[in-house]
Amino acid sequence: MFWTDVDSPLGPLLLTAGADGVLTSVSVPGQKGGRSVEEGWRRDPGPFRAAVEQLDAYFAADLKEFRLPMRAEGTAFRTRVWAALDSVPYGSTTTYGEIAARVGAPRAAVRAVGGAIGAIGANPLLIVRPCHRIIGANGALTGYAGGLDRKVRLLTLEGALPATGGVSPVPEGAPPAPERSLPAPGVIPTPPRPSTRP
């Protein structure tokens, strides 16, 4: 197994690849279920040149779709869910329920879909497999293994949330961001009515 670490606006990223050089994970510090370097792994930035170039371009808002060979080990169900994630376009969001429908899972399987996406850390390819684009049915930003603050930063970078100064580094040990809500996908929010009181 190869590994390297790279700086990013979200903090250091740990990248891993198999012996064939195919990307197998992208993790952030403190990630639920994130990888950490194991004994016997070989540090070598060589297999990650394309990934690093594309991540840099993504964070500079010059890349909207990753084109990297990547592989994640998972059940047949998780593999279907991850493939559905890959179809969620840059700058948009969708719900866990909509992902369940895309993979042909019954409405009752939404919790299982959430687990496969990364709510419990099952998506090993954060950022490049866009689980940050999945929100609750009510628009709540929930279930991101990398932390809600990072999810907010990624959605802001992509324009799915209003800009509040762009993506800035997340200090290690920073408290989680407060829960936020987006309007349901496809819903245009109605601005509050002005008060008629004097």
Contact present, 58 and 68 (Cβ < 8 Å): no
Place of tokens 């869910």: 81
In 3D, which of 36, 32, 48, 89 has the Cα closest to residue 65? 89
Which residues belong to the active site? 131
Q: What's the rounded Cα separation, in Å, for the pair 109 and 188?
A: 27
Q: How far apart are CA 29 and CA 163, in angstroms?
A: 24
Distance of CA 173 to the CA centre of its chain: 19
Encoding tokens for residue 87? 């179809």
The answer to pTM > 0.85 is no
Per-residue model confidence as pLDDT tens for the chain (198 residues) = 999 999 999 999 999 999 999 999 999 998 888 899 999 999 999 999 999 999 999 999 999 999 999 999 888 888 888 999 999 999 999 998 899 899 888 877 777 787 765 433 488 999 999 999 999 889 998 878 899 999 999 999 999 998 764 444 344 444 444 444 454 444 434 334 444 445
Distance CA 93, CA 102 (A): 14
Q: CA 142 to CA 151: how far, in whole Å?
A: 9
